[in-house]
């Protein structure tokens, strides 16, 4: 069976080509390892490109202290001080790396870096490039990947990780080429998953359509549990209707939220007003709408006022103004921006330690590393601060790359003799071309609706249970769905699995903590729990563990 | 919101289009329309729809022969006559000959075109003060959507031509003071950038206003100011001198100056054509030579002395 796969061997295999993936690949290559990046999209098309705000950087010890304190406070007990300290102290290195690659960070006239204060921060720590920081960081990283002559395999969809039971370690991944559906086997000493998040599972989402959480599904299918997967951040300022983000930097520049009475309401919710952490603002917006102070025809939106800002003064404002004008016909100087919280970031994921290794019950899994949004390295906890995601992705990407390339010469490359019958990849060999009238996209859209309605920003037990039933019904529908476009089929399957995991995990968390809000359990529990979701023989299991 | 009748033709195979008649809101984006079509009409339609905000560059297609990013343009831009009949929307992949099925394009050739240049910044860390070295002001907004590559008429016939996108990228590093590979970059573009026929299509259709044409022109200026000589630069100098001396572009003079006397015999058929059309000029100078020369002085190109 394994012979029918086109085999590629490498020391380090990186699945995903966002900021974490490319950082990992560059670092591993610089450590001397042979590296291959495998990605379903060309690197510069990854979700990381859509990151707008900025990257947090600590240039002094005081700033480090501040960042640690702020991140800890916002994480609401679900993060590790050690790991945050590590990230904060590593941030200077990351900045130096990006500067040496030519990233055009915005600067003052005298040449010093411009920095902003994002939500939940006391001092200015966020460096940025206009309002498209992610895009420019990605450009720099891609150039470095080319410079380091790292092999890129694009248009490849990875369906399964390969685990060797005898040796108890991972030895690569299998997938197929989306151009010609040829099955591929990437045999590697170490595998790094850096596939990003999966927030496009929601109807109103800031994420791109292909951010389908494939990495979460890869892990679940390989019997690796997901930690706190129900912790999903809803960014307060998504544009009403489409969910596309209006960067937090606009509020850092002085924009504020108003309700139907044309009054600033954030002062009633937090002393930090419009620069409170994202969970606080999201909660406030939803509360205003609930109490009938929403705007628009259906009174289901809030308005962002930036009419008083001098757009020509700053690059980032200009960038936002162009985007609003081109896509939504909104003139920032005259119009108010209708906004609604939008699904943005998965704080949970595959548990990882400080070395970027994937762990189960705190014990590292042999041959498997995780970095970026797909990982849960105990940094963001229950709510992520603006600017921390790019930092975490870059730091843990580099760390995972470094540790995966450590001792790679002494590790022996193991190859499986057969491919397990239960793996997803087997379904590409069943070449029955059935005529189906149900497209995978239709299921995806139905799923988005279900998640938005029943597992949105504020959840209830009744809603979650109803949502779960609907998802199970969709799973049955999935059996007769059109399989002509295989990547669509696998993405939809992955999304259904993750949706189930999110709902089951949400049901187990009987409290409200940070970004996770339950209507029926509005208060924080005194005891802090981590929730693990795992999959065994098509059944999902939940484990609660006290922190 | 205004609903209008559309007749939508979706490219599936050579000479085979899927036809749909729809009443649709003109405010929605082409990408949303395609999403709708894929959900309800063509279940196995191959297309790309990723970021929805013109950052990823994956949804480049042709609508009524105009290359666009599907996420950026709304239907209303293609409505010609609002009141009468229906509007036809012919939706095709960016490169019909390079299609990977339906509306997706094989970008392999496009990506490979970047391999012709060193696509990265090479710093000499010892050369200057660190602070200065790190201060970068050059911003390149190119999202690698491939529109300028697939619309460029030169690429189809001349494989040596550095594509507009590649020249754009090359220029980013050329204009960066800190880059140490300047010579290599100029060497690479000395003849391969002169094949541009200045049709301005890259300028017209670039969705991020990168203006590759401006970068091509700027690269030429850099080449003219450098020691690198190619038929392109000598041709430019020949035209420049011809205008300065006679006030006219004297084709015969330009041809000889560009390729030399012996090689210019190759152009005998063209020479006869020039004589017939009266462009040869026979050493006549323009009547307005003085005014023309003034232009050189005004623009600062030449000193009056």
Q: What is the pLDDT of residue B282?
A: 60
CA separation for the pair A314, A310 (Å, rounded):
8
Q: What is the ipTM of this complex?
A: 0.94
Q: Which of B56, B129, B145 to mutate to test the interface with A (most CBs of A within 10 A)?
A: B56
Q: Is B131 helix (H, G, I), strand (E, B) or coil?
A: helix
Give the chain B residue nearest A144 (alpha carbons).
B120
Q: CA A97, CA A352: separation in Å to the nearest integer?
A: 24
Query: Residue B203 is encoded by which pair of tokens?
Result: 């300028």
B51 in reach of chain A (CB within 8 A): yes
Separation in Å, CA of A388 to nearest CA in chain B: 21
- Looking at residue A433, its pLDDT comes to 62
User: What is the distance in angstroms between the Cα of B113 and the nearest Cα belonging to chain A?
Assistant: 13
Task: Please indicate whether residue A307 is annotated as part of the active site.
Answer: no
Backbone angles phi, psi at A350, to 5 degrees: -75, 125
pLDDT tens digits along B221-272: 999 988 888 888 888 889 988 898 888 887 777 888 888 888 878 878 877 8
User: Is the CB of A99 less than 8 angstroms away from the CB of B134?
Assistant: yes
Contact yes or no for A105/A127 (Cβ under 8 A): yes
Residue B128 clears pLDDT 80, i.e. is over it: no
Instruction: Give per-residue pLDDT as tens, A254-296.
Output: 999 999 999 999 999 999 999 999 999 999 999 999 999 999 9
B56 vs A: CB within 8 A? yes
Chain B residue numbers touching A48 (CB-CB < 8 A): none
Q: What is the pLDDT of residues A373-385, one digit of tens each?
A: 999 999 999 999 9
Cα pseudo-dihedral A38, A43, A47, A48, rounded to 10:
110
Of A100, A323, A436, the CB nearest to B53: A323
Task: Give the span between the Cα atoms of B237 and B103, in whole angstroms.
Answer: 45
Chain A residue numbers with beta carbons less than 8 Å from the beta carbon of B107 are 42
What pLDDT does residue A484 have?
86
* pLDDT tens profile B56-103: 999 999 999 999 999 999 999 998 876 667 889 999 999 888 899 899
The minimum CA-CA distance between B254 and chain A, rounded to whole Å, is 41
Element spanning A544, H or E = strand A539-546
Whole-number pLDDT of residue A257: 96
* pLDDT score of A22: 97
Select which of A115, A278, A509, A518 is catalytic: A278
Cross-chain Cβ contact A485/B52 below 8 Å? no
Closest CB to B39 among A101, A327, A439: A439
Q: Is residue B127 scored above 60 in pLDDT?
A: no
Task: Suggest the residue from B122, B134, B140, B173 to mutate for an interface test with chain A (most A CBs closer than 10 A).
Answer: B134
Alpha carbon distance B139, B153 (integer Å): 27
Residues in chain B, overall count: 305
Cβ distance A50 to B46 less than 8 Å, yes or no, reads no
**A129: which 2 tokens?**
């490039």
Q: How far is CA A465 from CA A225, A232, A459, A468, B253, in A?
A: 22, 18, 10, 5, 85
Strands A458-459 and A517-518: parallel
DSSP β-bridge partners for residue A258: A264, A303
Q: Is B43 on the interface with A (CB under 8 A)?
A: yes
Mutate which: B40, B44, B108, vs A, most A CBs within 10 A: B44
Mean pLDDT of chain B: 87
Contact A33, A405 (CB under 8 A): yes
B28 touches A: beta carbon within 8 Å: no
Q: Which residues of chain A have pLDDT under 70?
A: 1, 431-435
Q: Which residues of A touch B140 (CB under 8 A)?
A: 139
């Amino acid at each position: 069976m394994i012979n029918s796969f086109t085999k590629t061997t490498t020391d380090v295999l990186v699945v995903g080509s966002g900021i974490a993936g490319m950082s990992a690949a560059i670092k591993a290559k610089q450590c001397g390892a042979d590296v291959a990046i495998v990605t379903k999209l060309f690197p510069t098309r990854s979700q990381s490109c859509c990151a707008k705000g900025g990257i947090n950087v600590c240039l002094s010890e005081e700033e480090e202290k501040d960042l640690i304190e702020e991140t800890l406070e916002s994480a609401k007990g679900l993060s590790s001080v050690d790991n945050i300290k590590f990230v904060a102290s590593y941030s200077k290195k990351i900045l130096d790396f990006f500067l040496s690659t030519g990233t055009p960070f915005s600067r003052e006239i005298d040449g010093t870096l411009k920095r902003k204060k994002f939500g939940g921060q006391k001092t200015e720590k966020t460096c940025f490039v206009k309002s498209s920081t992610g895009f420019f960081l990605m450009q720099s990283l891609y150039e470095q990947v080319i410079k380091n002559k790292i092999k890129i395999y694009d248009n490849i969809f990875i369906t399964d990780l390969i685990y060797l039971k005898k040796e108890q370690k991972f030895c690569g991944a299998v997938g197929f080429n989306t151009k010609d559906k040829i099955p591929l086997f990437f045999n590697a000493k170490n595998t790094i998953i850096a596939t990003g998040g999966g927030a496009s599972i929601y109807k109103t989402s800031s994420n791109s359509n292909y951010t389908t959480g494939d990495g979460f599904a890869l892990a679940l299918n390989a019997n690796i549990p997901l930690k706190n997967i129900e912790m999903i951040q809803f960014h307060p300022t998504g544009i009403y209707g489409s969910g596309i983000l209006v960067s937090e930097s606009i509020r850092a520049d002085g924009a504020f939220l108003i309700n139907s009475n044309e009054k600033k309401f954030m002062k009633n919710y937090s002393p930090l007003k419009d620069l409170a952490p994202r969970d606080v603002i999201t909660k406030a917006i939803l509360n205003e709408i609930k109490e009938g102070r929403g705007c628009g025809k259906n009174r289901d939106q809030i308005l962002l006022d930036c009419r008083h800002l001098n757009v020509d003064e700053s690059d980032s404002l200009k960038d936002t103004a162009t985007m609003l004008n081109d896509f939504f016909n909104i003139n920032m100087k005259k119009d108010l921006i209708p906004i609604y919280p939008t699904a943005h970031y998965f704080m949970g994921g595959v548990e990882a330690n400080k070395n970027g290794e994937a762990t189960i019950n705190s014990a590292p899994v042999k041959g498997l590393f995780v970095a970026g949004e797909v990982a849960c390295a105990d940094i963001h906890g229950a709510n992520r601060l603006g600017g921390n995601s790019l930092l975490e992705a870059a730091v843990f990407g580099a760390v995972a790359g470094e540790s995966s390339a450590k001792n790679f010469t002494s590790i022996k490359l193991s190859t499986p003799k057969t491919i397990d019958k239960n793996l997803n990849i087997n379904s590409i060999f069943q070449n029955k071309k059935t005529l189906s009238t149900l497209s995978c996209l239709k299921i995806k859209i139905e799923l988005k609706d279900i998640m938005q309605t029943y597992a949105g920003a504020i959840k209830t037990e009744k809603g979650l249970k109803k949502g779960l039933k609907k998802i199970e019904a969709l799973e049955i529908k999935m059996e007769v769905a059109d399989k002509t476009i295989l990547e669509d089929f696998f993405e939809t399957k992955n999304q259904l699995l993750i949706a189930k995991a999110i709902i089951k995990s949400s049901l187990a968390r009987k409290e409200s903590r940070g970004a996770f809000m339950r209507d029926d359990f509005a208060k924080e529990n005194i005891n802090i729990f981590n929730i693990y979701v795992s999959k065994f023989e098509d059944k999902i299991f939940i484990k609660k563990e006290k922190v | 919101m205004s609903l209008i009748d559309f007749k939508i033709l979706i490219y599936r195979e050579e000479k085979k289009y899927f036809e749909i008649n729809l009443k649709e809101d003109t405010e929605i984006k082409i990408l949303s329309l395609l999403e709708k079509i894929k959900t309800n009409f063509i279940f196995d339609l191959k297309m790309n729809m990723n970021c929805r905000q013109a950052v990823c560059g994956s949804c480049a297609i042709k609508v009524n022969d105009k290359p666009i990013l599907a996420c950026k343009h709304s239907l209303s831009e293609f409505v010609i006559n609002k009141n009468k009949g229906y509007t036809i929307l012919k939706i095709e992949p960016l490169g019909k000959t390079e299609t990977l099925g339906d509306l997706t394009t094989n970008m392999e050739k496009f990506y490979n075109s970047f391999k012709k240049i060193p696509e990265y910044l090479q710093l000499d860390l010892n050369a200057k003060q660190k602070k200065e070295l790190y201060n970068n002001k050059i911003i390149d907004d190119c999202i690698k959507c491939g529109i300028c590559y697939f619309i460029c008429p030169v690429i189809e016939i001349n494989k040596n031509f550095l594509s507009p996108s590649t020249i754009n990228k090359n220029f980013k590093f050329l204009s960066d003071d800190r880059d140490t590979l300047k010579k290599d970059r100029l060497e690479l573009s000395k003849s391969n950038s002169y094949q541009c026929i200045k049709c301005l299509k890259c300028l017209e259709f670039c969705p991020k206003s990168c203006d590759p044409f401006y970068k091509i022109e700027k690269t030429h200026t850099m080449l003219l100011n450098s020691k690198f000589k190619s038929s392109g630069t000598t041709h430019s100098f020949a035209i420049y001198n011809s205008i300065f001396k006679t006030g006219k572009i004297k084709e015969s003079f330009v041809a000889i100056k560009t390729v030399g006397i012996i090689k210019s015999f190759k152009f005998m058929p063209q020479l006869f054509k020039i004589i017939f059309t009266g462009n040869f000029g026979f050493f006549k100078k323009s009547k307005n030579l003085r005014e023309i020369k003034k232009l050189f002085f005004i623009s600062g190109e030449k000193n009056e002395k």
